[in-house]
Amino acid sequence: MRRSKFKAIDFFCGAGGLTYGLRTAGIHVLAGIDNNKNCKATFEKNNREAIFLEKDITKYSPGNMRKDLKIKIKDNRMIFVACAPCQFWSNIRTNKEKSRNTKNLVLDFQKFVQYFKPGIVIMENVPGILSKEPIKVFMETLKKNKYHVECSIIDMSLFGVPQKRKRFTLMASRISKISLPKPKGKQLTVRDVLGQENGFSVIRAGTIDKTYFQHSALHLSKKNIQRLRITKKDGGDRKNWMSKNHLKLPCYSKKNIFNDTYARMWWDKPAPTITTKFMNITNGRFAHPEEHRGISLREGATLQTFPKTYKFIEANMTETAKMIGNAVPPKFAKIIGKQIIQTIK
């Protein structure tokens, strides 16, 4: 790949989806920073030119990062990118207590921006953060430091990502005006990327694929398999079996409550947002369009636009699913990278 003069540091890098996308755009990523040691092997295996710094940025100082990476202050060609853990600000109705200690990570990232004043700052997060105090403070700080700021809620399905994934996206530049990318190309569907014609063999629930491809699906109880056998293929939901006493679930007795749980994806629509629990059919519309199982690890990674050669090095399926669901889709990251290069030129 042809490399531009831009270089980047990926904060909260996880498994490296954002790093990989920027690299494919031609940007040299110096390092990824994350406090989850489980991501290190995967990040480094797929992004050999970048180093993984296992650091907690609430405790890590800009001065120490300057020593570790030997980077300059006010480097116009430096890009800082951050996709902080976002569960606390998510609109999904879950218990927020576990994620409370992550709610101000945007401001922890801010101290690095203020210290180094990189040429470009990129941020991606859940839409819910837009109205919250941390992001308002962060944006005001950028403007006070003479950054031109553009931000919006972007639906990644309009950028070639085959899922309905809406995210707050911010781009800021200290060296020139900058603009967010415009939607382009065809909106991809599940059929465009999954299925036998795309290299995914028919498998059963509970299949463990020990190859790097990791076409593995969670085990399902006999009752849940019965439910899926009755569920209409291609977008069916639990209405097909809720009237059957031996299969219905009292917790879902009210109409129009969580209709996507136990539901199948549609072939000819984008997938729902791939979350960290995308393998579990009880957590959303994550059942395969026609096979009697949830989607596999590799299918989830493909919907996130990771290439099929991307190797996830983690024996635990749950941890691997978290890495995949938390990632910025590499295809969208590549679009952001190209937008930076073209805009600054």
Place of tokens 């990824």: 32
CA–CA gap between residue 161 and residue 41 (Å, rounded) = 25
86 carries an active-site annotation:
yes
Three-state SS annotation for the chain: CCCCCCEEEEECCCCCHHHHHHHHCCCEEEEEEECCHHHHHHHHHHCCCCEEEECCCCCCCHHHHHHHHCCCCCCCCEEEEECCCCHHHCCCCCCCHHHHHHCCHHHHHHHHHHHHCCCEEEEEECHHHHHCHHHHHHHHHHHHCCCEEEEEEEEHHHHCCCECCEEEEEEEECCCCCCCCCCCCCCCCHHHHCCHHHCCCCCCCCCCCCCCCCCCCCCCCHHHHHHHHHCCCCCCCHHHCCCCCCCCCHHHCCCCCCCCCCCECCCCCCECCCCCCCCCHHHCCCECCCCCCECCHHHHHHHCCCCCCCCCCCCCHHHHHHHHHHCCCHHHHHHHHHHHHHHHC
Angle between helices 133-144 and 105-116 (to 10 degrees): 10
Q: Considering the candidates 39, 86, 151, 251, report the single residue annotated as catalytic.
A: 86
Indicate which residues carry an active-site annotation. Answer: 86
